[in-house]
Amino acid sequence: MTEFSFTLQARDGNARRGTISMPRGLIRTPAFMPVGTQATVKAMYPEQVRELGADIVLGNTYHLMLRPGAERVARLGGLHSFMRWPHPILTDSGGFQVMSLAQLTKLDEDGVTFKSHVDGSTHRLTPERSVEIQGLLGADITMQLDECLKLPADYSEVERAMELSLRWGERSKAAFGGEPGRALFGIVQGGDQPDLRLRSAEGLRRIGFHGYAVGGLAVGEPQAIMLEILQETVPALPDEAPRYLMGVGTPEDILLSIARGIDMFDCVMPTRAGRHGQAFTRYGRLNMRNAKHTEDLRPLDPSSDCPAARDYSRAYLHHLFRTQETLGAMLLTWSNLAYYQTLMKEARQAISEGRYTDYVAEVRENWERGEP
């Protein structure tokens, strides 16, 4: 069986191009992982997601443990078979959703007790149970359970949550064991405090993980704060392991984070925006609900490889959203995910050619200039 491995193939400044090897396939980095919260990337067929260039998708432990249930997914053959995605899957730990969606009833050293946002039923999530659930789902990359605080928060509270997350990281690793071909990632916490981020990173390195995620960002803090935290934190992470920035984000956030050494990203933004009439293009963001598109026969982007962006008129897309037709959400989601994967493909090429800084400048200039 192929073991988990990460190979760096090129560098340009702090930006890195690499490949993660796993039994179910290769993951080219920098990589954007479409979010398949409930065993589906919303409004997309799995084959479409793959054809756009996605090597890996993300599944959500919290939602899947509630519906249809981890044990049921296991009985049905695992998440890959269930959702017809035979390629790598990363599952988050469920911690972020427990803190943000559920009614949290108790947090203690052992774990968290919460009430489901679906039916009010009570559940218990510990580091061990989170790892068990992700194993039942069949995750290729498992995330440790952590406590993700809402910011701003007092320094003492951020420190407490960071230290608890470190202890949960140790327990997650002990529960994970050493299954061949699967990987466990630790999560750096510490809020907006650089010294706590460094302590978290150092603690995770001592524990030892296959990869390292930066969590607790993209939760409303200014972009400058996020980039400052990355600038301080990423150099403290092992050079030989992949680095994953959780829940980020806008195309600009991703490009600037790659420049600071991040390898992996996930975000609901391209799919959520698509369902609400927002299109990401090389000209910037377009709102297809705006009346100016009513009789515009141009496509979103005639140079795109994606049929949704290249072959449908803006007038038609505008009509679909005005009439609340499902096809509108499907087409814009398709187009947005295509744009994100194109950014990743071009970023990887630019890093290999030693021109990543120039590439980012060109992309941002196109956004600012807008359409010709």
User: Binding site for substrate: residue ranges?
Assistant: 92-96, 146, 189, 216
Residue 28 β-bridge partners: 19
Max CA distance (Å), the chain = 60
Q: What residues are designated binding site?
A: 92-96, 146, 189, 216
Q: Is 307 exposed, middle or buried (0-12, 13-18, 19+ CB in 10 A)?
A: middle
- C-alpha distances (whole Å) from 238 to each of 133, 196, 263, 298 are 27, 17, 12, 47
Angle among Cα 65, 71, 74 to the nearest 5 degrees reads: 110
- Choice among 12, 55, 192, 266 that is catalytic: 266
* Closest to 241 in 3D by CA, of 200, 211, 202: 211
- Choice among 92, 140, 253, 301 that is catalytic: 92
The answer to whether 92 is a known catalytic residue is yes
CB contact at 8 A, 199 and 170: no
The answer to whether 266 is a known catalytic residue is yes
CB contact at 8 A, 309 and 365: no
Active site residues: 92, 266
